[in-house]
Amino acid sequence: MIQNKENALVRWILHTYVKALVKLRFHELVFDPVDIDPNKPILLIANHFSYWDSLILFVVNQRLFKRKFHVMAKEDTEAPLWFVKYGGVFTVKRGSRDMLKSLDYAAGLLNDPQNMVLLFPQGKLHANFVERVNFEKGVMRVVDAAGDKCQIIFAATFVQYLQHKRPTATIYLQTVPSGPLTFEQLEISYQKFFDDSKAKQTEIVL
């Protein structure tokens, strides 16, 4: 497992680069504010359709949550880990014993109310057009360990061009009510949230 590292200068360079890149490649990012508890860390659970997901949600965090960004990425990712680990990236190796270490590390990060951890429980990239969102079971290790001391927020991102040359990314967000959750409940609630978000996205006509 590769852990995220701290270096204020490299972190600043990365943050500035990501913000500029998103601004350059997207017409706009659209999202509605959600109610968040300022005293609790955030576990952000999102759909995974591209390498942009983390970058887009990084910008959302900067504008809305204003927490210290962390994201779990696959160890075989094409992103230069030696560099992006300074931006809050830590890795997971699926199907290994090391995986549990990564999940516990994610749960550990959620002890600090200043932190935000982004997880993609789908485990791999899927088309932006999927109907069903299936989670890997590992997400529950983080949810259970973090318990009530963190707030879970669902995110669903969709990309559309419409009348602009550059695409617009719409990010739907929803706070999950606190209380114990089973894996099935988590998957069903995310699916419902995803279906509602997709329905809103589908209604767009200009």
Partner 1 sequence: MIPARRVPWMSNVFAKYMRYRMRKAFNRIEVMPFEAKPGHSILLLCNHFSWWDGFFGNYLAYWHLHRNLYIMMQHDHLEKRWLFNYFGGFSIEKGTREMVQSLQYAAGLLNDPQNLVVVFPQGELISNHATEVGIERGIDRLIKNIKGPCQIVYSCVLIDYFESLKPSAYIHLFDCGVAGEVPFDDLVKNINTFHKKALEDQIKVEH
State the minimum distance, in angstroms, from the CB of residue 122 to partner 1: 12
**Mask: binding to partner 1, 24-63, rule CB under 8 A, as x and -?**
-x-----------------------xxxx-----------
The Cα 40–Cα 175 span in angstroms is: 12
Residues 6+ apart with CB under 8 A from 151: 36, 37, 40, 41, 42, 43, 175, 176, 178
Q: Which of 162, 198, 192, 159 is nearest to 176 (CA)?
A: 192
In sequence order, the β-bridge partners of residue 151 are 42
**Mask: binding to partner 1, 79-118, rule CB under 8 A, as x and -?**
----------------------------------------
List 8, 33, 129, 177, residue binding partner 1 (CB under 8 A): 129
130 lies in the site for partner 1, by CB under 8 A: yes
Q: Which of 84, 117, 90 is nearest to 14 (CA)?
A: 84
Beta strands in 75-148 (DSSP E): 89-92, 115-119
204 lies in the site for partner 1, by CB under 8 A: yes
How many chain residues touch partner 1 (CB under 8 A)? 30
125 lies in the site for partner 1, by CB under 8 A: yes
Nearer to partner 1, 60 or 146 (CB): 60
158 lies in the site for partner 1, by CB under 8 A: yes
State the minimum distance, in angstroms, from the CB of residue 127 to partner 1: 5
Amino acid at 97: R
Q: Are strands 89-92 and 68-74 parallel, antiparallel or unpaired?
A: parallel
Nearer to partner 1, 79 or 181 (CB): 79
The Cα 159–Cα 170 span in angstroms is: 6
Residues that bind partner 1 (CB under 8 A): 21, 25, 49-52, 78, 125-131, 158-165, 167, 198, 201-206
